[in-house]
Amino acid sequence: MKWTSLGHLGWLVEVGGLRVAVDPTLDDTLMEGALATLPARRIDPSGVQPHVIVLTGAAPDRFDLPSLGRLAPMSPEAVVIAADPLVAEACERLGFGSVHVVGPNERVDLGQVTLWTVPGCDASRGWGFVLDDGRVAGWNQAGIPLADPRAVRQGLLSAERGLGEGLVRRLRWVALQWRDPLAGPAGVHPSPEAGHRRALERALALPRWACLHPAGGGTVRVGPGAGESMGGVSEERFHADIWRRDPQREGILLTPGDQVEVTPGGVRRVGRAGWCRLTPSRTACVIGRHLQVPLEDDVPVAAPERHLVDRFLEDTLLEGLRRSWVPRGDGARCLRVKVLWAEEEQAVSYAWGPMGWWMQGQAQAGADREEVIVGSELVAVLKGEASWARPLGSGRMRVRGDASDAPPHPVLFSGLSWDRSLRRYVEGWLRERLR
C-alpha cells in the first residue's frame, strides 16, 4: 500500500492497480482562495487519475470544486465516495458517473481494498476512514478531529468490527489530526499548548506499531494577515514531544509529493511524485501568532449591493436571531454588528427584551458581543459568490466579547447558515462553469 502526500489533507493511495484520491486540492490555494498551502505546491491532475475519489466532508479545504472540476473530464468513470449529500450532488453535476453518499461507521468494498468510515467529534461534518487490504491498514484522521483518547480507542474497535479481527494489528500507518483545528467558526484558537497536549494524548492512544504522520496543518493566509499560521505548534515540535514521551514510537514527516510504502514490516520512504511540484511560497509562515488580525477597509461596491446588506441586517438576520437565539435568564443582551466599507463604517445593534429580539435605531455602546465583517466579503456571501469560508479563512470577519450563552458560531450565521451559504456558492460555481 503506497501513500503519496498531496499536501494539507490530500492523499493518493495505491493498492495493487487501484488509485484512491483523498480530498484532492490541486492548486496552491484553498478555501476559495483565502488560504495558501504550505509548502506551496501544484499538482498535475494527469498524475492523479484516480479510480476512486474519497471526499470526507464539505469543508472547503476538503471539498475543492475547482480541483474536482479538473479531475472530472480526465476520470469521469471514477467512483466518488462522499460524506456529504451536497458534495455528492456537485460531483454528479460535474460528470462523475458513479457517486455514493456514505455515512459514518459504514463499510465500502473497493475491490483490492476495503474502506471503513470513522466519525469525528461532529459526525455531521464528515468522517475519517481506515483502508485495509487484508495485509496492512492505514487510518486517515486528518481534518476529522477525535475528542479524546477514548474516542480513538472506540474508532479502532469500530473499525475492527467492520473490517474483521486483527485490524488493530494490521494498522501500520496513521495520518493523524495532530493539532486542534479552529475552535469554532469565529476563527479564534484555543490555547495552542492546550490543543497540543490533547493532540499528544490522542496520538499516544494509537497502537505503538503504527507509524504516525502529522497531516492537515499546512496552510497560511494570503489575504489580510498574510503569514499567519493556522495553528500554534509545528510538526517538528509534535514529533519531538511524541518521542520524548514514548521513544519506541515511529514517525515520518512528509512534504507534498513524498511517497511511503506501508507493509506488514513497517513504513519506508520510496521516492517522490514528479507530478506534484513544489512552488515558491506566497508568504512566510509565522508559527504561534494569533489568528485574529486587524481588519482592513473594504473596496467600494455598487449601491444595489449596499442595499442587499441593508435588507440582510434589517430583515433576514433579525428573523434568524429570533429563530435561533433565546438568551437564558433575565439579563439584558445586546449584539452589535459592524460592516466595514471603503468610505465608512456601518454599525447596527440588536437588543433582547420581553418581546424578543428587536433592532435598535443605532449602534449602542457596551454590547455583550460584537461581530465585524468587511462589506464586500458579506456581499459575496449573500450573492452566492463565496461561502462563509472566505471571510473566516481570510480573517476579514471576527467576534469580540461573548455573551455566555451565545451561539458557538458567529451570530451572522443566523441570517444565512454555513450550509445555506455553501449551497449557494456551489450552485453559483456550477452554474457559471457548466453553462
- Residue 16: closest CA among 30, 4, 26, 2: 2
pLDDT of res. 327: 84
User: In the sheet where 114-119 sits, what is the strand order?
Assistant: 107-109, 114-119, 127-132, 137-140, 171-177, 211-215
Beta carbons within 10 angstroms of residue 17's beta carbon:
8
pLDDT of res. 37: 80
Q: What is the assigned CATH class of domain 303-434?
A: alpha beta
d(C-alpha 69, C-alpha 94), whole Å: 6
d(C-alpha 423, C-alpha 89), whole Å: 10
Give 225-242 as a 3 state SS string.
Answer: CCCEECCCCCHHHHHHHH
pLDDT tens-place values along the chain, 435 residues long: 999 999 889 999 999 999 999 999 999 888 787 777 878 899 999 999 999 999 999 988 899 999 999 999 999 999 999 999 999 999 999 999 999 999 999 999 999 999 999 998 877 789 999 999 999 999 999 778 788 999 999 999 999 999 999 999 999 999 987 765 544 333 344 456 777 888 899 999 999 999 999 887 655 555 544 444 445 567 788 888 998 999 989 999 999 999 999 999 999 999 999 999 998 765 544 333 333 445 666 778 888 899 999 999 999 999 999 988 888 776 678 899 999 988 888 999 999 888 889 998 666 677 888 899 999 999 999 999 999 988 887 778 888 877 777 777 788 999 999 899 999 999 999 998 887
pTM: 0.89
Q: Where are the domains of the chain?
A: 2-278, 303-434
295 and 395 in contact (C-beta within 8 Å)? yes
C-alpha distances (whole Å) from 413 to each of 7, 20, 279, 305, 367 are: 30, 35, 36, 19, 18
Cell 504516525 belongs to residue: 212
Q: Would 2-278 and 303-434 be classified into the same CATH topology?
A: no
- Residue 107: closest CA among 53, 57, 162, 52: 162
pLDDT of res. 158: 95
CATH number listed for the domain at residues 2-278: 3.60.15.10
pLDDT of res. 410: 86
Sign of the CA dihedral running 302, 307, 409, 421: negative
12 and 51 in contact (C-beta within 8 Å)? no
d(C-alpha 20, C-alpha 80), whole Å: 10
d(C-alpha 286, C-alpha 396), whole Å: 19
171 and 207 in contact (C-beta within 8 Å)? yes
